[in-house]
Chains A and B, each alone.
Chain A
Amino acid sequence: MAYEDVAIAGYGETDYHSDKDEQWAPYEYLADAIRSALADAGLSAEDVDGLSVTSHELHGENEVTLAKHFGFSCRWVLGDSTGNAAPLIGILRGAKAIQDGRAETVLVVAGDTSSPDSNMELMEEFNTGLYNYMRPYGFGGANGLFALLQSRHMHEYGTTREQLSNIAVTQREHARLNPRAIFQDPLTKEEYIEARPIVEPLHLYDCVMPCSGGGAVVLTSQENADALDTDPVYIHTGDEYHAAPTEPFSLRTAFAELDVLGESIARDDLDAFQLYDNYPIWVALQLEDLGFCPKGEGGAFVSEMDLSFDGDFPLNTGGGQLSCGQANGGGGILPTIEAIRQLRGEGDERQVTGADLILTTGPGTVFYGDVLCASAAVLGSTPPKTGVA
């Protein structure tokens, strides 16, 4: 899909809180991220006429009640049925709304409170598939679902924990260069391997820390962006897919259905990869299904590549959710925000040199043996060329 004449004009990210005593109300994470994103763009709240909200803990609220709450009168809105895919999908569909003239300035915000206990409850009640057919057996939340996927991947393809360790270990190095990341202590491969099991084969450092936080992105027309004192980032390609016709616990994810590079982008053109990382096995599966390695070789691939920000396959250069924490809905916007930051050259000590094109992903809606939604985009520091290259 072509995304000309639209620009990502600003972004904002809150601090992340893992301590209940520091925690704000869910609304406050949204407000803080919105305020930062608008200020970053040089836009004001009254400019906003399109809104996408991803927030799982605001019971009794949705994207339209929140539009009213924050004072955004909208000609385009999007909620979060697609789970943590919703922020990236909000960016892609919001860009289309701007192109179509439906809205002029679209705000995409994702944020939440969360904790290990509240996340367990959320996963138990997320939908009937989990509630009725996994929860009664003590599945242990999302940890159980992804442990079962990893178990099968290890059996079918010989994937090992040693191979997957490179993801968590390298991303921790990135987190140590990211003051916002919750986890700042070094993590060795030995510590990763020997950490206590949560749902075997997943151990402690395979699992994200549910925390509180949020992020926001504001898009507007290219014409508007040119008049602002900001550093725009552009959408080059994007795609989404939902409810792929696979059997539960298939190792082929909905990412296999995406056409994210299109005709004009080659894999070697990409400078960094911000891949949704709730679990290392999920990163490996995305890499397989997005075509970076054959099916089943995700473990070998991540163990052989240099995943450092200055290596040959920079992965989750801010530390990812595995080291920053997963701010519930905010986890869905984290990869995209890090992509934007890198494309602007604001990566500080973890800047990917010459970052011009970055792939970002947004999966969402865990279900019975499945993650129902997939989205991905390539963002760039310059506008996409019109037509086929």
Chain B
Amino acid sequence: MMTSPTPPLPTETGVDGPFWERARNEELSIQYCECCDRHTFPPRTVCPACFSDLSWVEVSGDGSIYAYGTVYRPNRPVIFDDRVPFVIAVVELEEGPRIVSNVLSEPDDICVGDPVRVTFRKITETVTLPMFKPV
């Protein structure tokens, strides 16, 4: 019997449920602190600057490439091998926070600073990952 390889899936921690739930609905949402007027990522329990409660807000999905690398040796080669080489990037969202994801582009076609917009890639029934495409 052939077992299908397990993709590297996130595990909900209890504070990040809304991030993954909204991603399943193809919505990019991160947390916002009203007191600081600042967005924060990754998901957490309270604002790291002032300890206030945070709310989940949908963001524009726009950002720019803050940094990127081209992966030749990924983790979990069983899933990513056929996509090698692919781009892993830090996207600085318009709202401020920096999110790690893949940029769906040939590595040679992008530069740090390029504008990108979110798209969504369904991995399993319960996991959809936000990814980015050059604008």
Contact residues of A with B, CB < 8 Å? 120-121, 123-124, 128-129, 131-141, 143-144, 147-149, 151-152, 155, 196-202, 245, 247-249, 368-369
Contact = CB atoms under 8 A, between A and B. Distances in A.
A140 B74 contact: yes
Given A128-B13, A249-B98, A133 B68 contact: no
Given A133-B42, A135-B8, A199 B98 contact: no
Given A137-B88, A198-B72, A132 B10 contact: yes
Q: How big is the B interface, by class?
A: 35 or more
Given A124-B75, A132-B10, A138 B98 contact: no
Given A155-B112, A202-B69, A139 B10 contact: no
Contact of B73 (A143, A148, A249): A143
Given A144-B88, A149-B67, A152-B112, A136 B9 contact: yes
Contact of B90 (A123, A198, A245, A369): A369
Contacts, number: 124
A151 B91 CA distance: 13
Q: Which of B74, B97, B101, B102 has the most chain A CB atoms inside 10 A of its CB?
A: B74
Contacts of B42: 129, 132-133, 248, 368
B119 interface: no
A140 B8 CA distance: 12
Contacts of A152: 66-67, 90, 112
Nearest to B107: A200
Contacts of B131: 137
B106 to A, nearest CB: 13
Contacts of B71: 138-140, 144, 199
A322 B99 CA distance: 29
B56 interface: no
Nearest to A141: B75
Contacts of A144: 69, 71, 88
Contacts of A134: 100
B129 interface: yes
Interface string B56-70: 000000000011111
A221 B82 CA distance: 58
Contacts of A128: 11, 13
A132 B101 CA distance: 11
A132 B16 contact: yes
24 contacts: A124-B8, A124-B76, A128-B11, A132-B13, A133-B100, A136-B8, A136-B9, A137-B100, A137-B101, A137-B102, A137-B131, A138-B86, A140-B74, A144-B71, A144-B88, A147-B88, A148-B90, A155-B113, A199-B73, A248-B97, A248-B98, A249-B67, A368-B42, A369-B98
B75 A151 contact: no
A133 B8 CA distance: 11
B48 A137 contact: no
Contacts of B11: 128, 131-132
A198 B97 CA distance: 27
B83 interface: yes
Contacts of A139: 71, 74-75, 88, 100
A261 B110 CA distance: 42
Interface in B73-98: 73-76, 79-80, 83, 85-86, 88-90, 97-98
Contacts of B100: 133-134, 137, 139, 148, 368-369
B8 A147 contact: no
B9 A148 contact: no
A332 B80 CA distance: 31
Given A137-B100, A138-B80, A152-B90, A123 B75 contact: yes
Given A198-B73, A368-B100, A151 B10 contact: no
Nearest to A200: B70
A105 to B, nearest CB: 40
A122 to B, nearest CB: 11
A131 B67 contact: no
A271 B40 CA distance: 43
A129 B43 CA distance: 9
A49 to B, nearest CB: 38
Contacts of A123: 75
B38 to A, nearest CB: 10
